[in-house]
Amino acid sequence: MRAAILLFATLALAAQEPLIRSVADLKRELRADESPLLTDAVFKSERRLRPVLRALLKDPQFTGAARYLLAVIAEPKDIERILTLSPPPPDGDDFQYWRYAVATALIQPTTESGWQFLERSARGDYNDGSSADGAIQSLQLNGTARSQSILRSLRITPGQSPSLTDRNLETAAMNIAMALGPKTWRSNDAPRFNETADKALIDMNFAKSPDRLVYTATFHKVKGFWTLRNVHETLQVLVLPAPPLPKP
């Protein structure tokens, strides 16, 4: 699924955001590989579609995609619900991208199961390098004594965690972008809001030779503060060097 997400993200400029009015519409788009803007469409209508996605968690055909989309929306109760479920059947390329998205959504775990998932992911118990990277990132961002203890047990030096909240959304996003090293930050895109304007997605653009990377951050407005709920890699593009100039 990860390969599909990275590939179709490169086609987003030429695509139109799908219109989702019913469960049938959502299932159709989940089946369609040519829906690069599905995540944005679901996020925009997340208040209406989250109950549908939670219902699809029990459907083997859609559970992987439902887990991923709920992790991007990043309501803590939905994340904890996902952690109670058995792993779904592996997808075609045997890569369950949802696990990485769940790990990156557990920046501030609210239950013991969340902490255990982060520790097991970071330790490599799931044989999934991406979910390990996502868990380590969340532990670094968390910055509490427990997260630092887990990192040290893995012989990883805890970094200085950034502020996860700010009254200004752009400032909140900048704080997180500056913490996502080691790579060179280039810019943050304009936020994309849900229909009630209390949740936002922001793409953060980085360079890490020889690639261009995009990380997408999810923020929720909580008591007047924009709070980070998820930040995960959504695009990786190889940047080819410019051809040499012809000799005169």
| Tens digits of pLDDT across the chain (248 residues) | 444 444 334 334 344 678 787 788 888 888 875 555 889 999 999 999 999 999 999 998 899 999 999 999 999 999 999 999 998 876 644 446 899 999 999 999 999 999 999 999 999 999 889 999 999 999 999 999 999 999 999 999 998 899 999 999 999 999 999 999 778 999 999 999 999 999 999 999 999 988 999 999 999 999 999 999 999 999 999 876 666 667 66
Nearest to 199 by CA among 174, 216, 175: 216
CA-to-CA dists, residue 73 to 49, 91, 152, 181, angstroms: 11, 22, 30, 24
CA-to-CA dists, residue 58 to 45, 65, 71, 103, 124, angstroms: 21, 12, 16, 20, 26
**What's residue 6's pLDDT?**
40
Residue 172 CB partners (closer than 8 Å, separation 6+): 163, 164, 165, 166, 219, 225, 226, 227, 228
Calculate the CA dihedral of residues 190, 33, 126, 181 and round it to 10 degrees.
Answer: -30
CA–CA gap between residue 62 and residue 98 (Å, rounded): 11
**What's residue 7's pLDDT?**
37
Site of tokens 């592996």: 90
- What stretch(es) of the chain map to CATH 3.10.450.630? 165-240
Q: What does DSSP assign to residue 94?
A: S
Site of tokens 């994309």: 192
CA–CA gap between residue 66 and residue 92 (Å, rounded): 16
CA–CA gap between residue 8 and residue 97 (Å, rounded): 15
**What's residue 162's pLDDT?**
95
CATH match of 165-240 with 3.40.50.11740: no
pTM (two decimals): 0.88
**What's residue 33's pLDDT?**
57
CA–CA gap between residue 140 and residue 53 (Å, rounded): 29
Structure tokens, 238: 């190889």
The DSSP element (H or E) to which 199 belongs, if any, is: strand 199-208
**What's residue 75's pLDDT?**
98
